[in-house]
A and B are shown apart, each in its own frame.
Chain A
C-alpha cells in the first residue's frame, strides 16, 4: 500500500484527514479511494472534468506527477504520494 500524505491546509476542511495507507495502482484510483473515506475531497483536488486543479500538486516518489489530466501516473505499494497546495501569492 502506498503511503499518502497531505498538506496541513486540507485539515481545515477535512479535520479527520491524516497520513494513511491506500492500496491503489494509479493516482486517480488513490484519489477515488480517498473520496470514499473523506467525501467531498475530490472536488477540492480536481476540477469537475477530473483533471488536477491548477494550484494543487501531487508528488509520487518525490516527483511531480506527469499526467495532471487523467491522473494515470502509476503508484506502487512502497511509494509515497504527497498532496500539496502550490505556492501562490496573496
Chain B
C-alpha cells in the first residue's frame, strides 16, 4: 500500500509518494502560495487545503482525487458577529479541520482565527458558526481569550472522542481546553492542572496556551498536550492535567507532539528553547520520547542535526502513523523515521517553512 506525505509549506503543498521505500515528490500544488492547513478526511479520502493569500485572504479547497484536481469552496463567514463590542470579526486564518464522526458522514468541524469554531453538515459546502462557543462568557472576556503572538485567539486543535461523536475537545491559544458532551451545544473549560506562567494567577480557570492537543484513539480518556508552559497529560478525559515535563526542565517548551495510536503511555515531542528564543536547545535538533506516560523521557537524535541548527517544529508539523514519524521545520527541513523515532533520515533541506504535515 502506498502512503502519501502531504507537506503544507509557506510556498505550496508538496506531495510525497512511495513512502517507506524511496520517498519522492510526485506533485506540487498551489505553487508559491502559503498553505495554512492540510487535512485528509479518512472517511472519504477527501483532501482539504487552506491557503493564506497575502493579498486575497484565506481560501479553502478540497480534492476528491488525491490532489489532482481542486475545487474552491466557500470559506466560513463570521456574518458580522462582533469580536468585541463595535468590532466586527472577519476570518484571519483557518487552523484546523476535523471530521465529526464516522456516524456523521457529511459533517465537519473547522477551527479558525479569530476564535471561531465552525460546523458543516454538507461536507464543507457551507460552514456555520458554533454560536454556543462564540457566545461563551469567557470568549467575550479579553482577559480569558486573547492572542498568543497574534492579535486574536485561534482554535488549532479539535479532538474527537471516537466512542461518541457528541464528545469533543477544542484547544484555543490562548484560552485553553474546552469540552462539549452534547455535540457543541454547551462547553466547559477543562484546564485544571495546567499552568499559565504568564498570568498573575497561573492556575486561572481560563487563559491557558495549549499548543497542541491529541487523544489516544484506543484509550480515549487519555489526552496529551504540548503547552506553552510544559507537557501535560490527562488520563480522565481532561478532568485533571498532570505536568509531565522532564524533571530536569527538559523537555518542556515546544509546539510539536505525536502520540502512539495504541499505547496510552507513549508519546514524542520536539523540544525548543524557551518562549524567548524558540530554537533547539544547544542548537541540536532532537526528539524526546516517553514510554511510561511521561515519567521519563529519552532523547533521540540519530540522523538529526547535532550542532548549529536553528529549526523550530510548528504545532501541526509532526505526524505519526504506524512505525513512521515525520516532522518538518520552519527552515524547510523535513525528517522521517521508520523506527518510531530511533533514527532519522533527511527527506529534504530545500523546502519552504513547513506549517503542516499529514499522512494519507
Q: Tell me the B residues contacting A by CB distance below 8 Å.
A: 53-57, 59, 72, 75, 77-80, 88, 90-91
Is the CB–CB distance between A88 and B54 below 8 Å?
yes
Is the CB–CB distance between B90 and A47 below 8 Å?
yes
Is the CB–CB distance between A53 and B56 below 8 Å?
yes
B199 to chain A, nearest CB (A): 31
Nearest A residue to B77 by beta-carbon distance?
A48
Tell me if A55 counts as interface (CB < 8 A to partner B): yes
| Number of CB contacts from chain A to chain B under 8 A | 36
| B56: chain A residues within 8 A (beta carbon) | 13, 43-45, 53, 56, 85
| A45: chain B residues within 8 A (beta carbon) | 56
| B59: chain A residues within 8 A (beta carbon) | 43
| B54: chain A residues within 8 A (beta carbon) | 55, 88, 90
Nearest B residue to A45 by beta-carbon distance?
B56
Interface residue tally of chain A, by bracket?
10 to 19
CA distance A40 to B75 in the complex (A): 11
CA distance A55 to B88 in the complex (A): 19
Which 9 A-B pairs rank lowest in CB-CB distance, beginning with the nearest? A44-B56, A85-B55, A55-B55, A48-B90, A47-B90, A49-B88, A88-B54, A48-B77, A56-B55
CA distance A36 to B57 in the complex (A): 20
CA distance A55 to B91 in the complex (A): 15
Is the CB–CB distance between B55 and A48 below 8 Å?
no
CA distance A49 to B55 in the complex (A): 16
B333 to chain A, nearest CB (A): 19
| A44: chain B residues within 8 A (beta carbon) | 53, 56-57
Nearest A residue to B91 by beta-carbon distance?
A48
Nearest A residue to B89 by beta-carbon distance?
A48
